[in-house]
A and B are shown apart, each in its own frame.
Chain A
Amino acid sequence: MSMSKKTEEELDRWSKEVKRGAVTLAILALLSKRRAYGYEAVKLLGEKMSFLALEQGTVYPLLRRLEQRELLRSEWDYEDPTKPKKYYAVTEEGQMALGAMVKDWSILSREMREVVLEVE
């Protein structure tokens, strides 16, 4: 059954809202395992999080905001002068925030699953 235009619009709005919160958690989780530079982070998110389907322009400002909020720290690598890389890694503050987010996310997803199952 194809979706009506109104349903599509609602779905679009809802996914944007869900993605907005989820992407911070996804970036922190991915970078907590290993540091990565911008392009790597964009590709990692693209590969592992197809639902998020992030535009490349969305990831960089988010990395910058998380850095400003001291959840991430960055370090430039000039080893290849033609492609300097700004590596991002999770700070101690970021690790603590990630832990709290994961805890909340687990509760949320468990409860959501139960509610959604009732609907199905």
Chain B
Amino acid sequence: MSSNDPLKLIEQYLERVRVYLPLDSEDAIVELQTHLIEEAQRIGGGTMTAGSAMMAIERMGDPKNVANEYAGSGKKVGPVPAEYANPVSRIVIVLLAIAAAFITGISLLGVALTDLFGASIQNWPFSIPIMIILNLVIIGGIIGIISLLDRDKPLTEKTTLESIFGLGVDGFKPKGRWDALGDVVMGIFWGIVVMLPAVVILYTDAFTAIYMVVAIFLFLGAVKGALFYLGGENNFNLALEGFLSVVWIALAIVLINIGWPVRYVYSYDGIAWSLFDLTDFFTSYDIPFVPFDWIWAFIMFITVVIAVWRVIVASMKITMHLRAGRKLWWQGNWGERRSLRTPLWKRILGEHDQFQKQSTVRHDGYREPDESQ
């Protein structure tokens, strides 16, 4: 949907450009944003309107060409045109990373791939390249049809193809500052909860033997959160995140084998609190303990998938930063989306956008139609 807010138009356009840029292109986006605002103000005679913003955007041109020319963002890779090299490689990495994360998670649960897909694949393994080629042809056809449907969309509106290509963008954004603070608070909170004597007596014998390792890991997570809160995303913090994720994967192998960690729950009979033995209850009534084991396996699976994803993203980003000549520590960015508009809470307190939506009224009283609402 096209907006009448000039700042929203610029943000929407920049979101489209971002899809085609390499991962470390926040500087380029900010430079483009400043350029568009100043150009729109110049066109509007000092005032930015939806019309002037739209003209500035049209002068800038097609997002994929802008990204390619502006940031020199890509070289032709095989059959992939230069403009599409970044989004295609990003989405391939995302798919491979998701596959790697899921395979690792499934393997930790002790499920073989053949159990999932069946061992009866015809002409294994020669069927694999044929399947890939067939799928690529189908994808090519779908992309062609989608592009045809999108051809009349305005410059500020993401095409369906860009929405697909943009899927990986969020996964690679730096951790937000408030998310980092959340890691600190939750790490300390759960670290303390796991160690509370009233909680420790609820554990199974096997989990009691290792709960301190889990507590230490949670506190390390809080330290990592604090470092991200202070220093943003830099090589040290990324390396720490990658290291802790690897440690978690190793720990998860042990935790999966230990199984559901809680043996007792508190029960109140109207007079006093006592411990209710879950295992005894299930075995005495011949009920299998399966639901709890499955819940535990599912929790471990999800955390391992996230950990593998973090290892992959951290390694990619560290390589990227090292190539850019950065060292171990610097004041990095946080992943909050920069918004040109004043947040709601500030608007409630009476602070307004620097750029107000203003109608351009001509000398003869004519008002630009796209700003009249």
Contact = CB atoms under 8 A, between A and B. Distances in A.
Nearest to B69: A57
Interface string B309-343: 00000000000000000000000000000001000
B201 interface: no
A86 B27 contact: yes
A37 B32 CA distance: 11
Contacts of B70: 57, 60-61
Nearest to A85: B34
Contact of A38 (B35, B59, B354): B35
Interface string A41-63: 01000000000000111101100
A57 B69 CA distance: 6
Interface in A18-71: 37-39, 42, 55-58, 60-61, 64-65
Contacts of B60: 56-57
Nearest to B7: A82
Nearest to A84: B30
B258 interface: no
A99 B232 CA distance: 40
A85 B65 CA distance: 23
Nearest to B37: A83
B34 A61 contact: no
Given A61-B70, A86-B30, A56 B355 contact: no
Contacts of A61: 69-72
B326 to A, nearest CB: 13
Contacts of B34: 37-39, 83-86
B81 interface: no
Nearest to B342: A82
Contacts of A38: 31, 34-35
B38 A83 contact: yes
Chain A interface main SS type? helix
A84 B338 CA distance: 11
B227 interface: no
Given A61-B69, A86-B30, A39 B354 contact: no
Which of A37, A57, A58 has its CB near the most chain B CB atoms (within 10 A)? A57
B140 interface: no
Contacts of B66: 57
Interface string A74-85: 000000101111
Interface residues of A, number: 18
Nearest to A37: B34
Interface in A80-117: 80, 82-86
B288 to A, nearest CB: 59
A115 B354 CA distance: 57
Which of A38, A61, A83, A85 has its CB near the most chain B CB atoms (within 10 A)? A83
A64 B25 CA distance: 12
Nearest to B42: A43
Given A57-B66, A64-B72, A82-B354, A39 B39 contact: yes
Which of B33, B70, B354 has its CB near the most chain A CB atoms (within 10 A)? B70
B141 interface: no
Interface string B4-47: 00000000000000000000000110110111011100000000
Contacts of B154: none
A82 B61 contact: no
B227 to A, nearest CB: 23
Nearest to B72: A61
Interface in B42-97: 59-61, 65-66, 69-72
Contacts of A85: 34
A41 to B, nearest CB: 10
A55 B33 CA distance: 17
Contacts of A64: 71-72
28 contacts: A37-B34, A38-B35, A39-B34, A39-B35, A39-B38, A39-B39, A42-B35, A56-B35, A56-B59, A56-B60, A57-B60, A57-B66, A57-B70, A60-B28, A60-B71, A61-B69, A61-B71, A64-B71, A64-B72, A65-B72, A82-B37, A82-B340, A82-B355, A83-B34, A83-B37, A83-B38, A85-B34, A86-B34
Given A39-B34, A57-B65, A85-B34, 20 more contacts: A37-B34, A39-B39, A42-B35, A55-B69, A56-B35, A56-B59, A56-B60, A57-B61, A57-B70, A60-B31, A60-B70, A64-B71, A65-B72, A82-B340, A82-B355, A83-B34, A84-B33, A86-B30, A86-B31, A86-B34
